[in-house]
Structure formats: C-alpha cells, structure tokens
Amino acid sequence: MRKTRNHLSKGSQKSKATGNIRIIAGKHRGRKLPVLMSDGLRPTTDRVKETVFNWLMPYIQQSNCLDCFAGAGSLGFEAFSRGAKQVTLIELDKNAAKQLQQNKALLNADNVDVYQTNALTYLADTPKSKFDIVFIDPPFRQGLTEEVIKLLENNWLTKQALIYLEMESENNQVLIPNHWSLLKEKSAGQVSYRLYQYCEE
C-alpha cells in the first residue's frame, strides 16, 4: 500500500534515488529490480507478497492478470515470474510507468503490458480482455477501491476470477458485491489484505 498525495497514483511527481524490489519465486527468483524511491511509493512488502502468492499458487499459471495501481510493479512482476500468461500494469505516474517499462525490458517480459494512465479511465473503457486475477492496491484514503470494484463489474472479470484487495486496516466500510466471496483475509500492521472470488450473478 502506498500513501500519496497524488490522486490515483502510488508514485509521486518528485522522484528520488533508486531502490529495488525482489522477485520471490518463479523463473526470476531472487532477481532485484530497480524502483524509484518517490515520496509515497511503498511497494508491497515481501512478507505480504509471499502470503498473497501462496494463496494464488493454484491459480497463477497461465492466468491473465491486471494490476490496477502498479506502482513499483511488485505484484505484477511476481505474477509474471510465477507463470502468468499475460500481465497488465496500470500506473498513472509518468516516472513510475517509465521504470516499469525499463524493468519489463530487463526481464524480456513480452507478455507484460504497461499503460501510463488513470486506472478508472482504463476500466471505464470497453473491456479489451477479461482477467482471471486482479490486484487492487490503491493509494490510502482516496476512496478509489469502491470505484474500481464497480468498474470491474462491467465485464472485466472471468467466471470465478480472483481479486486481491489491499487497503488500510481501519477501512472496513468498503462495499463489496454480494457475489464476491471472501476466501482469505489477513492484516499486517496498518495494512489489511483480502482475496475474493467473483461469481457471476
């Protein structure tokens, strides 16, 4: 989860020195990727990421994945390394999106697409494909989670798609559709993370 003042982006317009994220498992296991250490950019921790991908292990192979607020690409590149068929990364911040493109090239990840755009604008368009796994990890306290959920309902999800949701722990007021079943739930510090399964109405 990233706290940011920049609406709809986990990154910031003010970039600093480069840090890195680590791919935990898969064909690029142990690989470190550079990320911009921007104000407000805080990639999903290895601890949380390991738990999430343990949950997703039976489903990740050959899946079509969407990361709505890609940030450093920690979740998307992990999915790619673990055998996802296609990964779509959406990131509004120009510098963060440029870094995602560079990391895509480092991994020769031809099946990873990076879009430098507003996630809500992307999802408001006619669906280009349906997704098996969706990551929703928006900036804190900007009310974006419910907006994204509503847009995903417009034919973006495959039958029994899995949706990973990460948000601030105190936020228990998010409206989740009745046909989204909660499969897993856990908290770490100020972050709550959940895995839902979509069932067509």
CA distances from 93 to 11, 12, 71, 151, 175 (A): 6, 7, 8, 21, 27
First to last CA, the chain: 30
Overall residue count recorded for the chain in this entry: 201
Which conformational region is residue 171 in: left (phi greater than 0), alpha (psi within -120 to 50 degrees), or beta?
beta
The per-residue pLDDT for range 127-170, each reduced to its tens digit, is: 989 999 999 998 877 889 999 999 999 999 999 999 999 988 77
Nearest to 66 by CA among 135, 168, 157: 135
Structural domains of the chain sorted by starting position, each given as residue range(s) with its CATH number in brackets: 18-198 (3.40.50.150)
Lowest mean pLDDT across 14-18, 90-94, 155-159, 165-169: 14-18
Report residue 31: phi and psi, to 5°: -70, 135
Q: pTM above 0.85?
A: yes
List pLDDT tens digits, range 171-196: 667 889 999 999 999 988 888 899 99
Q: What pLDDT does 171 receive?
A: 66
